[in-house]
A and B are shown apart, each in its own frame.
Chain A
């Protein structure tokens, strides 16, 4: 079966790829953007479940603060790796069973920018 590439990738992915080119330096290239429903779920996960340790406002708890000023010098890709694999010998667990690489990159990028709030 043959499909035109555009159809398979879909407009969302093409947009993400286009965006990825601009962000190629930070390793964003090639990763698909999570869709709107996924974004909502990721915001909820970060605020509520990462928030268990890092605080719902991300200003830290038992875990480190994750506000833009705390992450200014950190590489997006390296942050995504931490999210996926955790940090051995610390309480930071790996989230790979729940998050894709694209999810983790999106979270890392948004943490650096200032993480969105949940909308009811």
Chain B
């Protein structure tokens, strides 16, 4: 049935291509999805479906609710995107048919999600009610509800990431703890409270191919690390007092840890409250450098080959993007794409980067080797950009 629909769409394609303007919500001709992705349109509850080979927008899908803070993961066949919206909406998009496949409101206020390594479970991190809910990826039926109970009630959860073996790691903002939900033995999780991370973990990520979970702390200078290869699991503190002796600036936007790839043997990541990108050795977990940058970093994203990292910044210095060379550890290029640069996403092999410029209603596409602007596309208040290649990465 599905295949016939796609074939039919394929026959109709030449007609669609002949129409002026871009097709919207029209099924695509038979094609793969490895070069597709989505751009969140923050203010209008819509997403754009993009094609990084054509460097173009294929269509727009609306009706996704409040996307003021939204992120997405992809099914392992790269056909479906799961979009996590601020209003607790979990929307499954069909990128080929360019429509909403399923949509539920699973919570009151959510922050992000993850998909299990086997592609069968989608987990959502909620602020309200504080905790994590887990759903069947195919049907969006609820599998598990994990309230983040602590002494103060329910804690907001952040930094949700998938780990190998049907596991999800996450951090509790108020409680300052790191937990794991282990679905290795079926759909009833074993919930392990690994330990105390520190004051106000704000985000977390999986590093080193699934071995390490790291939570960044907002309330103190330092980070919390869990080595998933060590039994029993425990939280270790790293980089304690990395900003010692420096005056911390007010923070107008929480940084993110996503894109914290190991580059040239080191990790590059945002300092909280400082105009610096920090460099940590990937073996000793010691701070080995501080790179002065334009403002407080929000995203510090390594190009997939690790040679460069691209950095955007918090309000009010958020009109700028800088590129750091990981060999010299110096800023080699400063762009000013326009007001409110919110996100950056590299193509799978890193030859292009797509940059959202919210207040210019624009997406900029750069060649990451020549550092030249290749193309601009119109979008309505674009924020997150997510490409289907994420389907095959652990811990996003």
Contact: B68 with A56, CB < 8 Å?
yes
The total of chain B residues at the interface (CB under 8 A) is 27
Q: Any chain B CB within 8 A of the CB of A49? A: yes
Q: How far is the CA of A39 from the CA of B250 in the complex (A)?
A: 24
Interface of A is mostly: loop
A contact residues around B200 at 8 Å (CB): 91
Is the contact region of chain B dominated by helix, strand, or loop, or is it mixed? loop
Distance, CA A96 to CA B112, complexed state (A): 31
Counting chain B CB atoms within 10 Å of each CB, which of A52, A57, A86, A118 scores highest? A52
CB neighbours of B68 from chain A (8 A): 51, 55-57
Separation of A36 and B138 alpha carbons in the complex (Å): 50
Once the chains bind, are B316 and A98 in contact (CB under 8 Å)?
A: yes
Give per-residue flags for A39-53: 1 if the beta carbon is below 8 A from chain B beta carbons, else 0: 000001000110111
Chain A residues closer than 8 Å to B173, beta-carbon distance: 62
Docked complex Cα distance between A48 and B87 (Å)? 16
Which residues of chain A come closer than 8 Å to B69, judged between CB atoms?
A: 52, 55-56, 61
For chain B residues 165-180, which have a beta carbon within 8 Å of chain A? 173
| A93→B248 CA distance, assembly (Å) | 11
Interface segment, one of B205-213, B237-245, B251-259, B348-356: B251-259
Kindly identify, within residues 64 to 119 of chain A, every residue whose CB is under 8 Å from any CB belonging to chain B. 86, 91, 93-94, 98, 118
A49 touches B358 (CB 8 A): no
**B103 is an interface residue with CB less than 8 A from chain A:** no
Q: Is the CB of B86 within 8 A of A93?
A: no
B111: CB under 8 A from chain A?
Answer: yes
**Is A60 located at the chain interface by the 8 A CB criterion?**
yes
B-side contacts of A86, CB under 8 Å: 250
Asked if A56 and B254 make an inter-chain contact with CB atoms under 8 angstroms apart, the answer reads no
B254/A91 in contact, CB under 8 A? yes
For A61, list chain B residues within 8 Å (CB).
69, 86, 109, 111, 127
Among A51, A59, A94, find the residue whose CB has the most chain B CB atoms closer than 10 A.
A59
Chain A CB within 8 A of B218 CB = yes
Given A55-B69, A91-B218, CB of A118 within 8 Å of CB of B252: no
Cβ 8 A contact of A60, one of B109, B202, B358: B109
B329 within 8 Å of A (CB atoms): no
With beta carbons under 8 angstroms apart, the residue of B86, B158, B251 that contacts A56 is B86
User: Is A91 in contact with B109, judged by CB distance below 8 angstroms?
Assistant: no
CB pair B66–A93 under 8 Å, yes or no, is no
Contact B253 A52 (CB under 8 A): yes
Is the beta-carbon distance between B128 and A52 smaller than 8 angstroms? no
Would B127 and A56 count as touching, CB distance under 8 A? Answer: no
Name the residue of chain A whose CB is nearest to the CB of B200: A91
Contact B316 A91 (CB under 8 A): no
Residue from A44, A56, A98 having most chain B Cβ neighbours under 10 A: A56
| Known contacts A61-B127, A91-B200; A56/B66 CB under 8 A | yes
Interface centre among A44, A60, A91, by most B CB within 10 Å? A91
Which residues 225-267 of B have a CB within 8 angstroms of A? 250-254
Q: Are A55 and B86 in contact (CB under 8 A)?
A: yes
Closest-by-CB residue of A relative to B128 is A60
- B42 on interface, CB distance cutoff 8 Å: yes
Give 12 A-B pairs besides A55-B109, A98-B316 with Cβ atoms closer than 8 angstroms.
A48-B359, A49-B252, A49-B253, A49-B315, A55-B69, A56-B42, A57-B86, A61-B69, A61-B86, A62-B254, A91-B218, A91-B254
The 9 closest A-B pairs by CB, nearest first: A56-B68, A93-B250, A49-B315, A52-B253, A94-B250, A93-B252, A93-B251, A57-B66, A51-B68
